[in-house]
Amino acid sequence: MDEEELIGLMKKRWTARKFESKDVDEEDLEKILEAGRWSPSGGNKQPWELIVIRDEETKHKIAELYAEGMGMSDPPERYTSPPVLIAVCVDKRVIDSYPDMMPAEFVVYASIGSMVQNMSLAAASLDLALSWGTQPEGIKEEVKELLEVPDYIEVPDILQLGYPDQERYSSDRRRIDEFVHRDKIDEEKLRDI
């Protein structure tokens, strides 16, 4: 793959919210998981554990919990329609294993982000979408209980994997000259937020 193909793959990757009922082949799932396996991580600690969820009842319970946490009246399709959910888990013992002078939590969650990005690119290469699903704070313990996760493991995200069943929406990006600074920060470039 050359650099144009790589950048093209990055542009192809997107976040879908509706998925076809078509199943994800186990071989394709393994390719996506393999991409996650080879992700960079701080100190090569690989702080992730992944739970692959195909069980319809479990997916529906996760959707109900998400709806409850977000104050929604109906469970969102983004958790019930994809054939696969992947609970991204973080072992807090890895955070505690870094030296005190390290920003350990940042390093661990940056590592998780790298893993999800690798998996997202692998999914895009297979014409699948892998979408983020950060969990509301108020339901994290219930999700852990549902998935029988021990106390020292966090479940910050539940990814949705499947074939998109919607048109890709616009995904504008800031121009490079709007966010790249040279040698020092240029406050005139900073956005008003």
Q: Can you give the pLDDT at residue 127? A: 94
3-state secondary structure the chain: CCHHHHHHHHHHCCCCCCECCCCCCHHHHHHHHHHHHCCCCHHHCCCEEEEEECCHHHHHHHHHHHHHHHCCCCCCHHHHCCCEEEEEEEEHHHHHHCCCCCCHHHHHHHHHHHHHHHHHHHHHHCCCEEECCECCHHHHHHHHHHCCCCCCEEEEEEEEEECECCCCCCCCCCCHHHHCCCCCCCHHHCCCC
Residue 167: predicted pLDDT: 81
Q: In the prediction, which pLDDT does 86 show?
A: 98
10-residue averages of pLDDT along the chain (193 residues): 86 87 96 97 94 97 95 93 96 90 92 96 95 87 97 95 85 89 94 89
Q: What is the pTM of this model?
A: 0.91
Domain spans, the chain: 15-189
The domain made up of 15-189 has a fold known as: NADH Oxidase (3.40.109)
- The whole-number pLDDT of residue 135 equals 79
Residue 166 is predicted with a pLDDT of 81
